[in-house]
Homo-oligomer: A and B are copies of this chain.
Amino acid sequence: MECHLAACGTGISQSNRCVGCEARRTGICACLSPGELLSLEAITRAVRFAAKETLFCQGQPAASLYTVTSGVVRLYKLLPDGRRQIVGFALPGDFLGLSMRAVFGVSADAVEAVEACRVPLAAFAELVDARPHLLRRLHDLAVQELALAQEQMLLLGRRTAEEKIICFLLGMQQRWVRAKRFSVTVPLPMSRQDIADFLGLTIETVSRTLNRLARDRTILIVPGGVRLINAERMARVAAA
């Protein structure tokens, strides 16, 4: 991690920074040839955010785009009176700003310590213009995001608190498996409040539901996450 960041300033180790990157398999990078990877690397800069630090705000000019390389980012919208809806969590490998729009549509801040690759929008736009298949990839990612959002709309509008929690846990498990090598334990770096704001619940309901599931021996609550004990029952509820 340290060397990863140190590399960003040096010309020599630049050349293999991306190659060994965790996010290489996913995100934008997955569609790039080794040569193109170097082109991207050239305009990229590794940055780090502390927990709760803001990456960007809704309405702000989108000067830079990011690929998360470690840690978790929450994406959210706010109402003037303070009500918050988290529209997604970005895990390592996820790309932020695929809209390529002038301003950000959501706000983003670090749930925990986060490392990311920052790309100036202008430079990235040039790269995309030169490489149509990069645009294709961008579109695929946007469509994937949209499908996720629609699934979340179903969850927010039509599911009960217990179903919401269960779907959330199963969804996080899947995403962690895809991003890294987790399976027995599902990491939940975000707070209960974050989970509540993602699922359209209150912190108390999240806590109660989670602990009820633990009492039922459906899950086991461990520091920093949960272990899925009765994943079968959970899958049944989620499918319902």
B149 and A150 contacting across the interface, CB-CB below 8 Å: yes
A85 and B157 contacting across the interface, CB-CB below 8 Å: yes
Total copies of the chain: 2
Known contacts A87-B153, A152-B153, A153-B85: does B158 contact A98 (CB below 8 Å)? no
Known contacts A157-B156, A158-B79, A240-B80: does B99 contact A146 (CB below 8 Å)? yes
CB-CB nearest in chain B for A87: B150
B158 and A85 contacting across the interface, CB-CB below 8 Å: yes
The verdict on A105 contacting chain B, using a C-beta distance below 8 Å, is yes
Complex Cα distance, B77 from A149, in Å, reads 12
Q: How far is the CB of A215 from chain B (nearest CB, A)?
A: 25
Q: How far is the CB of A141 from chain B (nearest CB, A)?
A: 10
Q: How far is the CB of A152 from chain B (nearest CB, A)?
A: 6
Of A40-48, A63-71, A130-138, A185-193, the segment with at least 4 beta carbons within 8 Å of chain B is A130-138
Q: State which of B87, B100, B132, B154 has its C-beta within 8 Å of the C-beta of A154.
A: B87
A–B pairs, 8, beta carbons within 8 Å = A85-B153, A99-B143, A105-B146, A135-B139, A139-B139, A149-B153, A156-B157, A157-B197
A156 and B200 contacting across the interface, CB-CB below 8 Å: yes
Q: How far is the CB of A81 from chain B (nearest CB, A)?
A: 6
Which of chain B's residues have a CB closer than 8 A to the CB of A154?
A: 77, 79, 85, 87
The verdict on A1 contacting chain B, using a C-beta distance below 8 Å, is no
Q: Which of A129-171 contact B (CB under 8 A)?
A: 132, 135-136, 138-139, 142-143, 145-147, 149-154, 156-159
Q: Most B CB atoms within 10 A — which of A81, A156, A157, A197?
A: A157
Which of chain B's residues have a CB closer than 8 A to the CB of A85?
A: 153-154, 157-158
